[in-house]
């Protein structure tokens, strides 16, 4: 897995973003004039209470949603200006997602779950298998490649989820409460793994969490309250 760029480069630039949803006759403002910059190579934690807009911001950065107002640039590209087709192709190339509840396919083995994002690429079957083997090795699960999710612990399932997130060597790894469904020991192992991906492999990571223990592992924490950035504090 390759480093994406130097740590001094701004990889993520969110400028004046607002996000509004309509519920019946009511407008729900989730993000309000929010701006954020994330350098390449950073491990950033997004903290805040439920409903603060953390996951909404993560979805905007990952191209899963579009802002009502403002711009989102990743590596200099305005992703909010892309068509739906262009955005889907962009996500496949640049974004790895890690979810709280793993989102693994129960009928597929660990290695086939990890391979799923590669099916959107032009890689041959042999090349895909090589990438999968590398990703599983990076998360310490080479020996569990042929196991199904039901036979894996929660921590192991999340490791498979992380391997799936990094198998395409994405520009940006986005983690939404990656330890939220795990006990303390398994959660610590996942946080150790994310730190290693950041420090040893140069991965830029943005992690949504409500847990101060998890955010302490990041190199910087940003706090959101009612859709607005309230503090940016170095750990």
The band of 226, judged by pLDDT with boundaries at 50, 70 and 90, is: confident
- By the 8 A CB rule, do 102 and 160 touch? yes
pLDDT (tens digit per residue) in 85-111: 999 999 999 999 999 888 999 999 999
- By the 8 A CB rule, do 199 and 183 touch? no
Closest by alpha carbon to 191, among 210, 178, 208? 178
Please enumerate in sequence order all residues whose Cβ is within 8 A of that of 200, keeping only pairs 6 or more positions apart, or say none.
none
46 in helix, strand or coil?
A: strand
pLDDT (tens digit per residue) in 117-137: 999 888 999 999 999 999 999
40-55+89-234 has which CATH code? 3.40.50.300
């Amino acid at each position: 897995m390759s480093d994406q760029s130097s740590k001094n480069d701004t990889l993520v630039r969110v400028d004046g973003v607002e996000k509004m949803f309509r519920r019946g006759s009511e407008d729900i403002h989730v993000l309000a004039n929010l701006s954020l910059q994330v350098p390449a190579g950073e491990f950033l934690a997004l903290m805040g209470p439920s409903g603060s807009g953390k996951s909404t911001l993560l979805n905007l950065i990952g191209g899963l949603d579009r802002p009502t107002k403002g711009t989102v640039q990743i590596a200099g590209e305005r992703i909010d200006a892309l068509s739906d087709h262009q955005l889907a192709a962009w996500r496949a190339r640049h974004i790895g997602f890690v979810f709280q509840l793993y989102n693994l396919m129960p009928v597929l083995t660990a290695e086939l779950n990890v391979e799923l994002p590669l099916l959107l690429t032009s890689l041959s079957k042999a090349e895909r298998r090589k990438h999968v083997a590398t990703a599983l090795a990076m998360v310490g699960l080479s020996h569990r490649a042929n196991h199904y999710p039901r036979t894996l612990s929660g921590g192991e399932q999340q490791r498979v989820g992380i391997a799936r997130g990094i198998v395409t060597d994405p520009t940006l790894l986005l983690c939404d409460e990656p330890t939220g469904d795990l006990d303390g020991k398994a959660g610590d192992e996942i946080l150790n793994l994310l730190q290693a991906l950041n420090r040893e492999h140069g991965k830029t990571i943005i992690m949504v969490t409500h847990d101060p223990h998890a955010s302490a592992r990041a190199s910087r924490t940003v706090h959101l309250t009612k859709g607005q950035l309230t503090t940016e504090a170095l750990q």
